[in-house]
């Protein structure tokens, strides 16, 4: 079997493409237009394009995990992707692939969820494509989101600097917690009680999947170098992507990671590592160390949970975690999202 970078003989696992294969593909896309300000790169959430005098961010992502509100989830994760560049979501296209046997009521439910999320982030549905096809067994909802930058220069995941503090905004694993509670509700109610599971089911609304508000606050008022929206593969993958795109290492204080009690309980019951679980609703940013305290305080004052969880280092490729007793270990690496694996 051909195992060379990008080799055609390799059998691919479920989930995101392996980083080396993705990088090989993206190398083929470089240098085609001088108006591509932030080009496609591993770890970047969106591209930024120059169109006349305007800078426009554009991103695209599907929902493939079973979720209670796939249209709602899809719009929010795509709005997040462009917000971390400093752009406000404005317009989006919706592509909806539906399996045979889908009812009209299901289609209305998905589209209504997308429209609800669009209203929440200030984005308007302007078109797309809908189709019933035997190529899928569950609905696949894909969004392409556009927005204009609110700042003269875009932010990028790859703009982090060695010595920067890494700030986490909002708890990790919000999206994954809601999905697990939805998929395993009856069993989790027996093990954890109805009250906790009801809170977990509501995580898509509270704390919520959107990081648009904190991202745009940071882009307009804080001395932020880089922002990243950790999704598939969880916060551990998001931190690795932030460091990889910035050509740095990362060092994380395990005791400072923000995680909700509901997420810990649901993950323990399902045998899932929360660090590797899809985490829309959480935001990572890097800022100069001297500004870390002030940035976290301003985000807290605005109503978000924010904490310095570590720093970027000059040891490129080294991703480490420090425990409360001073022990160190490698930041876990997840080849696929925890929800794509075996769940108890």
What pLDDT sits at residue 5?
A: 44
d(CA 29, CA 44): 14
What pLDDT sits at residue 2?
A: 40
* Helical (H) or strand (E) element with 250: strand 249-253
In this structure, what token pair is assigned to residue 172?
A: 């990790």
Under CATH, to which class is 157-340 assigned?
alpha beta
What pLDDT sits at residue 191?
A: 97
Q: Where are the domains of the chain?
A: 34-149, 157-340
Q: List the pLDDT tens digit at each of the 344 positions of the chain.
A: 344 444 567 888 887 788 788 888 888 776 678 899 988 888 888 999 999 999 999 999 998 878 889 999 999 999 999 999 999 999 999 999 999 999 999 999 999 999 999 999 999 999 999 999 999 999 999 999 999 999 999 999 999 999 999 999 999 999 999 999 999 999 999 999 999 999 999 999 999 999 999 999 999 999 999 999 999 999 999 999 999 999 999 999 999 999 999 999 999 999 999 999 999 999 999 999 999 999 999 999 999 999 999 999 999 999 999 998 999 999 999 988 999 887 87
Peptide bond preceding 207: is omega within 30 degrees of 0, i.e. cis? yes
d(CA 266, CA 176): 10
Q: Tell which residue, 130, 135, 146, has the closest CA to residue 75.
A: 146
* Of the options 3.90.180.10, 3.40.50.300, 3.30.1330.10, 3.30.1490.100, the CATH number for the domain spanning 34-149: 3.30.1330.10
Beta bridge partners of 320: 251, 330
Q: Scan for tokens 């700042």, then name that residue.
A: 151
Do the beta carbons of residue 154 and residue 36 sit within 8 Å?
no
Do the beta carbons of residue 94 and residue 141 sit within 8 Å?
yes
What pLDDT sits at residue 67?
A: 85
d(CA 217, CA 222): 7
In this structure, what token pair is assigned to residue 114?
A: 């997308």
Beta bridge partners of 58: 47, 146
The 8-class DSSP code of residue 13 comes to P
Backbone angles phi and psi of 90, in degrees to 5: -130, -45
For residue 6, with 0-12 CB atoms within 10 Å meaning exposed, 13-18 middle and 19 or more buried, which class applies?
middle
Q: Cα 47 from chain centroid? A: 15
How does DSSP assign 34-72, residue by residue?
A: TTEEE---TT-S-EEEEETTEEEEEEEEEE-S--S-HHH
Beta bridge partners of 97: 131, 140
């Amino acid at each position: 079997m051909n195992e060379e970078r990008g080799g055609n003989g390799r059998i691919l696992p479920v989930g995101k493409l392996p980083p080396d294969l993705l990088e090989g593909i993206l190398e083929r896309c470089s240098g085609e237009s001088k108006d591509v300000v932030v080009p496609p790169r591993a770890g970047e959430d969106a591209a930024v394009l120059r169109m006349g005098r305007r800078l426009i961010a554009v991103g695209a992502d599907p929902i493939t995990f079973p979720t209670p509100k796939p249209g709602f989830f899809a719009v929010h994760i795509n709005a997040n992707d462009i917000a971390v560049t400093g752009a406000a979501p404005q317009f989006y296209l919706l592509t909806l692939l539906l399996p045979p046997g889908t009812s009209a009521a299901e289609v209305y439910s998905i589209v209504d969820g997308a429209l609800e999320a669009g209203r929440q982030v200030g984005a308007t549905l302007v078109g797309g494509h809908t189709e019933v096809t035997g190529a899928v067994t569950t609905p696949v909802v894909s969004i392409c989101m556009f927005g204009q930058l609110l700042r003269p220069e875009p932010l990028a995941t790859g703009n982090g600097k060695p010595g920067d503090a890494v700030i986490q905004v909002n708890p990790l694993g919000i999206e994954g917690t809601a999905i697990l509670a939805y998929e395993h509700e009856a069993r989790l109610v027996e093990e954890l009680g109805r009250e906790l599971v009801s809170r977990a089911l509501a995580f898509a609304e509270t704390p919520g999947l959107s990081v648009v508000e904190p991202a745009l606050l940071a882009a307009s008022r804080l001395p932020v170098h880089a922002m990243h929206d950790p999704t598939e593969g969880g916060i551990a993958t998001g931190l690795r992507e932030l460091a990889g795109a910035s050509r740095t290492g990362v060092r994380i204080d395990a005791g400072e990671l923000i995680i909700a009690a509901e997420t810990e309980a649901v993950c323990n019951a399902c045998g899932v590592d929360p660090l590797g679980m899809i985490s829309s609703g959480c935001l990572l940013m890097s800022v100069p160390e001297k500004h870390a305290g002030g940035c976290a305080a301003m985000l807290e004052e605005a109503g978000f949970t924010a904490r310095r969880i570590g720093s970027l280092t000059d040891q490129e490729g080294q991703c480490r975690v420090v425990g409360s007793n001073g022990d160190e270990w490698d930041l876990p690496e997840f080849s696929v999202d925890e929800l794509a694996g075996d769940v108890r």
